[in-house]
Amino acid sequence: METFKKLKEFYWPYKRFFILSLVSLFFVTVITVVYPIVLQITIDDVITPANYEYIPYIAIAFLVLMGVKAITTYFHQYLGEYFGISAVYSLRDALYKKLQRLSFHYYDNAKTGDLMSRLTADVELFRFFLSFGFSELIRIVLLVLISLSVMFFYSVPLALVTMAAMPFLIVVVMKFDKRVHPAFRGIRKSFGRMNTRVQENISGMNTVKSLSREDFEIERFSDKGENYRQHYLKTAKIWSKYFPLMEFIGNICVVALVAFGAYLVMEGNLALGELVAFFSLVWYILGPLMNFGFVINMFSQAKAAGERLSEILDSEDEIKEKENAIKSDVRGHVTFKDVTLTYVQDDDEALKNVSFDAPPGKVVGLIGATGSGKTSITQLITRFYEPEQGDVLIDGRSVTDYSLKELRKHIGFVLQEPFLFSTTIKDNIAYGNPEATKDEIIDAAKRAQAHDFIMEMPNGYDTLLGERGMGLSGGQKQRISIARALLINPAILVLDDATSAVDMETEFKIQRALKEVMEGRTTFIIAHRISSLKHADEILVLEDGKIVERGKHEFLLNNGGPYQRIYDIQYQDKETILGKKQHA
């Protein structure tokens, strides 16, 4: 029960509904056990002595009992479901909040499909046990205890004979539980891996089709499906082994009951009606005990699901906010002091002793090969990661002193791969500033050179976008992303290869618009095109996590270093081609 104890905070606040459900269940169980007693009275006190005038009264009493049972069953089931649904609402809410707060380190290792499986299928399995499993377990205990009490009242010897096989049944049930729980945990993990495969395939469908890898993807999914099938077959084998054994032990009880009961009736030590009632009552014990396997099944699935949910809730949030975190405006003065960053322990350093100073309004260009550390610098400014050594300062204070929300709302990001939500264009632009007016949204779109193509859309700014901005070109998605960053009026603007998805003409227009926007803001431009950087106040050239050159475009161009080599690679071929054309 350790898993349920860890998750107690989510269902215990709703315990009153569970308790009321159990009270209703108690009445349902008592009325259920009354049925065989009514049957015994009918046989021994009405039919055998031929007192048929009592039959209408027994019939009416029986109908009343059924009516009361129907009403109490309604309350039991409704309150049980209310308990489970309310608890899981709180649990799912807590899981989602946790996922919003976990650092990038967590998502570097997490699989999207597996996380989706945990928040949907695993949560639902846990809910089902809360709504039904807990009460079913208590119903079994109540039904067995009350039925045994009545059986001992009728005949102690027959009750003892009937119970002789029950310890064996309990042992089998316990062994079943020990085997089935690991099997169900394997099923949950396998299901998560299969979900991940589906999610990655759908997200990368353009790549799959462009490279004609459909058959390969089908084979990969089949492998995951086969693994899932094997886990389920393993569980089915356990069920197939233990449930016939439980039924066999139960049938031994029934044979012993019939044989010894018939003997007691012939000897005059037991009435016929009592034997018939006994026969019904024994199934009120054997049925629930065998059904106990199903409850263990639910418990094992819920436990396996709860463990996977607890893994998310117990995940450590590496980026922690101080209790007295600063909640003040940011001017945008960024300073790096001997900063070293390692993403994975004992792995190569992404940044090595990086130092620079960027006062408010300064435009800093970052250039270098893939993996040189350009994006790492901007991710430290927003505290997506923590440096291993050194410090990152904003306005003379360490970024760890600021409230995360306050810090990040002053930093506008335009990423290399823009992400748009399945909502209207207007809502996508206003995502970081939902209080923005329509005029402010339009102004941001105009500055990002997005207004004209938006107005050509079927419903303008109210046009609904498909998943991830489906229906827009890469350049259009990028310009909407730029408008979204501009709308929050950030003190620090980060353009992470923001114009890589647009043509040269559009890039020129955006750069011209951004030149005005950059006024008074600290701007970091990550780019592979030197044309995007040459107007920067300072350009930092990175190699293997180190700043190997710094300065303005003209200085670096004549410095004979890495920057000049990058320039030659990008422009020399163009000049050669132009020269050949002119010669021709």
So what's the pLDDT on residue 334? 94
Task: Scan for tokens 């699935």, then name that residue.
Answer: 301
So what's the pLDDT on residue 506? 66
Return the DSSP state at 531.
G
Whether 559 is in a domain gets the answer: no
Q: Are residues 124 and 171 in the same domain?
A: yes
One-character DSSP codes across 460-474 = GGGPBP-GGGTTS-H
Rounded to 10°, the helix 156-163/134-154 angle is 140
Q: Are residues 348 and 426 in the same domain?
A: no
Whether 560 is in a domain gets the answer: no
Q: Where are any strands of DSSP class E within 277-435?
A: 334-341, 351-358, 363-368, 389-394, 397-398, 411-414
Residue 123, domain extent: 2-313
Checking if the pLDDT of 555 tops 80, the result is: yes
pLDDT, average across residues 157-175 = 79
In 3D space, the residue among 366, 332, 369, 354 whose CA is nearest the CA of residue 556 turns out to be 366
Whether 547 is in a domain gets the answer: yes
Q: Are residues 462 and 485 in the same domain?
A: yes
Q: How many percent of the chain have pLDDT more than 70?
A: 90
Average pLDDT value for the chain: 83
Give me the sheet containing 522-526, strands edge to edge. Answer: 411-414, 492-496, 522-526, 363-368, 538-543, 546-551
Q: How confident is the model at residue 538 (pLDDT cuts 50, 70, 90)?
A: very high
Q: Taking the CA atoms of the chain, what radius of gyration do you get in angstroms?
A: 36
Q: What is the CATH number of the domain that holds 240?
A: 1.20.1560.10
Q: How confident is the model at residue 206 (pLDDT cuts 50, 70, 90)?
A: low
Checking if the pLDDT of 185 tops 80, the result is: no
Domain end marker among 458, 489, 520: 489
Q: Are residues 178 and 224 in the same domain?
A: yes
pLDDT, average across residues 37-53 = 82
CA count, 13 A, side-chain hemisphere, 310: 15
Q: Are residues 61 and 138 in the same domain?
A: yes
The three-class DSSP label of residue 216 is helix
Q: Are residues 509 and 433 in the same domain?
A: no
Report the alpha-carbon distance of residue 352 to residue 355 in Å, rounded. Answer: 9
Report the alpha-carbon distance of residue 233 to residue 226 in Å, rounded. Answer: 10
Do residues 554 and 539 touch, judged by C-beta distance below 8 A?
Answer: no
Do residues 478 and 486 touch, judged by C-beta distance below 8 A?
Answer: no
Q: Are residues 406 and 444 in the same domain?
A: no
Do residues 126 and 95 touch, judged by C-beta distance below 8 A?
Answer: no
Report the alpha-carbon distance of residue 570 to residue 582 in Å, rounded. Answer: 20
Task: Scan for tokens 């996922």, then name that residue.
Answer: 99
Q: Are residues 373 and 442 in the same domain?
A: no
According to DSSP, the β-strands at 522-526 and 492-496 are: parallel
Q: How many domains does the chain have?
A: 3
In 3D space, the residue among 420, 436, 432, 340 whose CA is nearest the CA of residue 380 turns out to be 340
The residues pairing with 336 across neighbouring beta strands, listed in sequence order, are 356, 392
Whether 256 is in a domain gets the answer: yes
Q: Are residues 479 and 504 in the same domain?
A: no
Residue 3 CB coordination number (10 Å) = 18
One-character DSSP codes across 381-420 = HTTSS--SEEEEEETTEEGGGB-HHHHHTTEEEE-SS---
Domain end marker among 457, 489, 521: 489
Q: Are residues 101 and 27 in the same domain?
A: yes
Checking if the pLDDT of 482 tops 70, the result is: yes
Whether 323 is in a domain gets the answer: no
Whether 563 is in a domain gets the answer: no
Using CA atoms, how far residue 409 sits from 138, 245, 365, 412, in Å, is: 52, 64, 22, 7
Report the alpha-carbon distance of residue 394 to residue 571 in Å, rounded. Answer: 36
Whether 578 is in a domain gets the answer: no
Whether 579 is in a domain gets the answer: no
Q: What is the CATH number of the domain that holds 337?
A: 3.40.50.300
Backbone angles phi, psi at 44, to 5 degrees: -80, -35
pLDDT digit string, tens, across residues 344-399: 776 778 899 999 999 998 999 999 888 888 888 988 998 888 898 999 999 989 99
Report the alpha-carbon distance of residue 405 to residue 328 in Å, rounded. Answer: 11
Backbone angles phi, psi at 341, to 5 degrees: -130, 135
Checking if the pLDDT of 559 tops 90, the result is: no
Q: How confident is the model at residue 131 (pLDDT cuts 50, 70, 90)?
A: confident
Domain end marker among 264, 290, 313: 313
Q: Are residues 221 and 193 in the same domain?
A: yes
Report the alpha-carbon distance of residue 450 to residue 460 in Å, rounded. Answer: 11
So what's the pLDDT on residue 390? 92
Taking every pair of Cα atoms in the chain, the longest distance, rounded to a whole number of angstroms, is: 126
pLDDT digit string, tens, across residues 388-432: 899 999 998 999 998 888 888 888 888 777 788 888 899 989 988
In 3D space, the residue among 538, 510, 551, 563 whose CA is nearest the CA of residue 334 turns out to be 538
In 3D space, the residue among 253, 255, 243 whose CA is nearest the CA of residue 173 turns out to be 243
One-character DSSP codes across 130-176 = IIIIHHHHHHHHHHHHHHHHHHHHH-HHHHHHHHTTHHHHHHHHHHH
Report the alpha-carbon distance of residue 418 to residue 435 in Å, rounded. Answer: 22
Q: Are residues 175 and 41 in the same domain?
A: yes
Give CA angle at 479 (477, 480), nearest 5°. 65
